Amino acid sequence: VKLERTEYVRSNENYSILSRIVEECGIDTILHTFLVVDPTQSTSRQMHEINVIGTMNLFAAASAPSTVRTVVVKSSAMAYGTAPEDPTWFSEDTPRSRSPRSNVERSIAQVEGYVRDFNLDNPDVAVSLLRFANVLGSDIRTPLTRALEMPLVPAVFGFDPRLQFAHEDDVVSSILFAMNHRLAGTFNVAGDGLLPWSEVTSMVGKRPGYLPPVGANVVTSPLRRLGLVDLPPAYIELLRYGRGIDNSKLKAAGFSFDYTSAQAVDSFVRASRLRRTMGRHRPKYTYERDVEQFFRHSPAVIRNRQAPQE
């Protein structure tokens, strides 16, 4: 994605500065892509600040009177949960079989509630809610990717769930598609096909390390604290029952996927091998200016202030 005109401004994790940015720059499009869906990377309080409070502030900034006309929210298929009575495929309108039990599922439910409320209150704004399946890519770190990189891949004894994946390129492309076409509504984003977890384990060239079918969360809790297993409860349930989401609605809107679920796994395997060969290097990112410097010198702010007011 080319970002020649992109400017960066530091914000705190709950986006409290966003209203001023929208007003000063005359923002017409917001992409909300920073929901926390990996509970191992933040505390419950941080997750609440980012997901719930951050989304509230984002929609406050986008509400009338505002220049915002398009909002795209990156959510997760975790919104559907996972349970033994689930259908093979979740459509966008399929309700959860059970109430959310984990903190991350509850926060996603709250976020999506704010999306629905904002959509009802602002019919002139195109609001797109994208629910992504398990994302795989060359530089994506999730509980599932970390599980696939372990010497023994965690699996629940007696279960071989079918999972679905989305390649990182399709993730970016679908967000841009929703933005450029001003899609309105909820859309599932996932590559075609479901893969048994045993097949995924075989594709990465590993053997399974079995967790007990009863009390798996109790067993893994001390292992998580020791850094030996990095699977939160919601993901253990996923490795028990699996999940599939129907992507036909997004296809009907005109979007074409470049990767099936199997191709996304294959791409992940190749990237993992390359990473083991070359090592993992992450350049440290630093902001070049603080918020006030942004508002003083941003070309977008200056252009917006000089534009004639209606």
Q: Tell me the C-alpha distance between 157 and 216, whole Å.
A: 10
The rounded distance, in Å, linking the Cα atoms of 168 and 152 is 25
Please state, in angstroms and rounded to a whole number, the distance separating the CA atoms of residues 310 and 294: 25
Across-strand partners of 70?
A: 29, 126
Q: Return the pLDDT at 39.
A: 86
pLDDT of res. 285: 46
pLDDT of residue 126: 97
| Rounded Cα distance, 297 and 75, in Å | 33
Confidence at residue 238, expressed as pLDDT on a 0 to 100 scale: 96
**What does the pLDDT read at residue 13?**
73
What's 119's DSSP letter?
A: H
Q: What is the pLDDT of residue 206?
A: 95
Q: What is the pTM of this model?
A: 0.87
Structural domains in the chain, sorted by start: 18-280+290-306 (3.40.50.720)
Length, in residues, of the chain: 310
Cα–Cα distance for residue pair 220/229, rounded to 1 Å: 7
- Type of residue numbered 41: Q
Question: Amino acid identity, residue 230?
Answer: D
Looking up tokens 């929901």 gives 35
The tens digit of pLDDT for each residue in 10-24 reads: 777 777 888 889 989
Q: Which residues of the chain have pLDDT under 70?
A: 1-3, 64, 217-229, 278-292, 308-310
Q: What Cα–Cα distance (Å) separates residue 221 from each residue in 25, 76, 297?
A: 47, 24, 49
